[in-house]
């Protein structure tokens, strides 16, 4: 039906990770006490902004190799693992999360661990999240698109409102101008992968030669990633046994989903909520 199955911990909605851990509520609450290392790199993004893509690219850069990463990104996802799994990720760690900073480890900003913040236009995020909710068994969701836009605008999904998430991070960036934050966009990555990966490599303090940058861009191109990463997914977790993490990988698919009325409603809420934000988004 129309309900999305999530775990509510002290008012915050997180996906359930039943297959990975027991007593997830306690594990979730303990995250603020976990230890961050100065050489950790964090990919931070609202769901569906391109977390898997940037995690793969960043891992290859850190490894200085275009060899396919043999793990799925969920194995280094802050809220998706136990403390033991987290501590066992091999350093230098490329980690990822959809959490806001206030729910992340307390020692975070002190450690100066690098943060790569990934953004994508919220209409494409909305469409991608709808398909995500529909296809992953854990959510037990079979709602209609006509109801989903309103749900998304209200933040009635895991991780809550995209607006709140984005504004909260923007405030963290503004309040900590000397912190090593790097903001990327899905759309720029699509349009100029080589250029964007080159800049990301510089931010990470790496000297990556152009040939390797080109190989990484190529290995992380949508169809190659889909082909080589889908088989690593637990097919049983997906409806019809079909992994759907790599769905379409395009800019502007929202135009195939939103009605004019939905789009106008979205724009008006966006204008109201983002009126004080400096972030901009590309919709095509
Ligand atoms: P679509 O549903 O629009 O296809 P996340 O990794 O944050 O969950 O985001 C998933 C979205 O990123 C999906 O969007 C997915 O297809 C897209 N994506 C994943 N890998 C990609 C790649 N290599 N290139 C472009 N898009 C990619």
Q: For the chain of 284 residues, list the mean pLDDT of each consecutive stretch of 10.
A: 97 95 97 97 98 98 98 97 97 98 95 97 99 97 98 98 98 96 98 98 98 98 98 96 97 98 98 98 98
Q: Out of 52, 98, 132, 133, which one is annotated catalytic?
A: 98
Taking phi first (over 0 means left), then psi (-120 to 50 degrees means alpha), and beta for anything else, what does residue 48 get? left
Dig out the tokens for 143 from the structure: 């709602």
pLDDT score for 189:
98
61-88 per-position pLDDT tens digit: 999 999 999 999 999 999 999 999 999 9
Sign (positive or negative) of CA dihedral 189, 45, 167, 252: positive
Give the separation between CA 143 and CA 67, rounded to whole angstroms. Answer: 39
Domain boundaries defined on the chain: 10-120+162-243
The set of residues, in sequence order, having a beta carbon less than 8 Å from that of 267 and lying 6+ positions away, is none
* Nearest Cα residue to 130 out of 112, 114, 147, 154: 147
Give the separation between CA 169 and CA 163, rounded to whole angstroms. Answer: 10
| Ligand 1 interacting residues, C-beta cut-off 6 A | 45, 47-53, 124, 128, 131, 220, 222, 225, 246-249, 253
Query: Taking the domain 10-120+162-243, which CATH number applies?
Result: 3.40.50.300
> Nearest 5°: CA angle at 13, between 72 and 77?
20
Is the ipTM higher than 0.90? The answer is yes
Q: How far is the CA of 186 from the centre of ligand 1 (A)?
A: 9
Using an 8 Å Cβ cutoff, are 97 and 79 in contact? yes
pLDDT score for 141:
98
Dig out the tokens for 114 from the structure: 């690098």
Question: How many CB atoms neighbour CB 197 within 10 A?
Answer: 24
């Amino acid at each position: 039906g129309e309900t999305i199955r999530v775990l509510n911990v002290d008012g915050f909605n997180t996906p359930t990770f039943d297959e990975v851990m027991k007593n997830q509520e306690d594990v979730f609450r303990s995250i603020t006490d976990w230890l961050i290392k100065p050489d950790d790199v964090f990919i931070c993004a609202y769901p569906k902004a391109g977390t898997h893509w940037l995690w793969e690219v960043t891992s290859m850069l850190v490894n200085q190799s275009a060899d396919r990463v043999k793990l799925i990104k969920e194995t280094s996802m802050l809220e998706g693992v136990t403390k033991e799994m987290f501590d066992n990720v091999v350093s230098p760690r490329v980690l990822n999360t959809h959490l806001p900073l206030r729910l992340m480890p307390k020692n975070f900003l002190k450690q100066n661990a690098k943060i790569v913040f990934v953004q994508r236009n919220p209409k494409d995020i909305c469409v991608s999240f709808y398909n995500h909710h529909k296809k992953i068994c854990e959510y037990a969701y079979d709602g209609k698109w006509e109801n989903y836009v309103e749900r998304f605008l209200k933040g009635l999904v895991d991780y809550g409102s995209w607006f709140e998430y984005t504004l909260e991070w923007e405030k963290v960036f503004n309040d900590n101008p000397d912190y090593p934050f790097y903001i990327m966009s899905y759309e720029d990555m699509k349009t100029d992968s080589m250029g964007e990966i080159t800049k990301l490599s510089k931010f990470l303090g790496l000297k990556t030669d152009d040939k390797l940058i080109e190989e990484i861009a190529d290995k992380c191109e949508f169809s190659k990633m889909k082909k080589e990463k889908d088989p690593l997914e637990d097919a049983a977790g997906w409806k019809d046994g079909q992994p759907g993490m790599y769905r379409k990988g395009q800019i502007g698919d929202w135009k195939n989903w939103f009605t004019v009325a939905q789009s106008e409603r979205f724009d008006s809420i966006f204008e109201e909520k983002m009126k004080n934000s400096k972030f901009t988004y590309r919709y095509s």
